[in-house]
Amino acid sequence: DDRGRQRTAAIHQSGRVFFPPAWRVGGSRRMPIVIYSHGTTLLKAGVPSEFGGHEWLLGAAAAAYSGFAVARPDQPGMGGDGTSFHPYCHGKSLAYAIVDGIQAIRDRFAEDPYVAANNYEWDGRIFLMGYSEGGYGSLAAAREMETHRAEFGGDAGFQLAGSACMAGPFDISGTTRRQILARNQPFKHPFFIPYVLLGYNAIYGQVMDPLETLTPHLLVTREDGNILQWVNGFTDGTLVDCRIAARMGRAPGTVVLRDLLNPDWVARALEDPAFATSPMKGILEENDVAAGWTPTRPILFCQSPDDRDVPLENTLTARWLLEGAVRKGGPVPAGLFTFLPLGRPGDGITHVEGALLAIPAAFDWIYRTGKASPDRGKK
């Protein structure tokens, strides 16, 4: 509503689960579940349940490599949820899409004929992983599980075994806000900012009205439509980027995010000093998924120092906040946090290129962490 209070509604959630071949599992037939959340896509069909994009292939390959069950939930507004708008970078919504799927995944162990024929069992452990928005959602889900431990096995049988949270916009109110406000800084994928604002409008209501937040250049309807039509879930992100650039009179890859916003709204809602008392401050801070909780299970951060789409400062800030929360109770345990840089500064590894390195590295980290962590259900 106009005060930013959130609405809630039940949605239909879809996804896909990959089980390993019997020869890879070994004698115990017990395995953990890896919940691998997909990265940013504008296409409702570009998700695991529809075999959309390419990440589903990595999920299938990882199941065969690791001997783990790999679950690929669609995010809200995607796949089988054909009615709602995707709440892009809304921490709670993405977290629920992951943790609410745990029971559905567990049910597959009881209902799937292939699983039954091979006597597979869940061993009580959950690993989370994702890259980009998937990394953001995975950290949000880790926060949800850590702060509601009783719902996920309690202290004695806590199900979360580790989280690989890679290259996500974890610091929305700080790093991401500064990125949006930067002047004369081109952004390769400008659909990012209207996607965030329209997603937040679906959650927070009129306080995020696109007619107030976005520049009129994007809202006016022409032969090619307008921004509200371009991000309706049926247009590829690359095409949306090109349409935004054309509408703003810029070449692809040279659009400045700030230019896509209504200057009056920026002045009263995002810029200092108005930001300190704006409703936007509370909204953005609510979606800082590394703030306000203390992790107890290992976390892998992984990113290229040359990532310009999601700056490395997001990851560094997230680690700093989480380490600070742990230190309030004592020393940081060895192995609780791992940071894996993807190359060195100057190597030029982009956000998209980084995914090709980060995702296999995450599965390797999960495999090694899984070998070192106990089987929660082992007798």
At position 138, the amino acid (one-letter code) is S
Give the three-state DSSP class for 40: coil
pLDDT in tens, 201-216: 999 998 899 999 999 9
Can you read off the two tokens belonging to residue 193?
Answer: 């900012």
CA of residue 30 relative to chain centroid, distance = 28
Confidence class of residue 82 from pLDDT cuts 50, 70 and 90? confident
pTM: 0.94
pLDDT at 194: 96
The mean pLDDT of the chain is: 92
Determine contact, residues 205/2, Cβ cutoff 8 Å.
yes
Q: What is the mean pLDDT of residues 324-349?
A: 97
Burial zone of 281 (CB within 10 Å; 0-12 exposed, 13-18 middle, 19+ buried): middle
pLDDT of 195 > 70? The answer is yes
pLDDT at 1: 41
Question: To which residue do tokens 């992100």 refer?
Answer: 237
pLDDT at 284: 98
What strands lie across the sheet with 299-303, from one edge to the other? 15-18, 69-73, 30-37, 121-131, 160-166, 299-303, 337-341
Distances (CA, A) of 98 to 11, 71, 73, 126, 153: 13, 9, 7, 11, 16
Q: Report all structural domains of the chain as residue ranges with CATH numbers, in order of start.
A: 15-171+291-372 (3.40.50.1820), 172-286 (no CATH)
Between CA 289 and CA 163 the distance in angstroms is 13
pLDDT in tens, 233-286: 999 999 999 999 999 999 999 999 999 999 999 999 999 999 999 999 999 999
Confidence class of residue 65 from pLDDT cuts 50, 70 and 90? confident
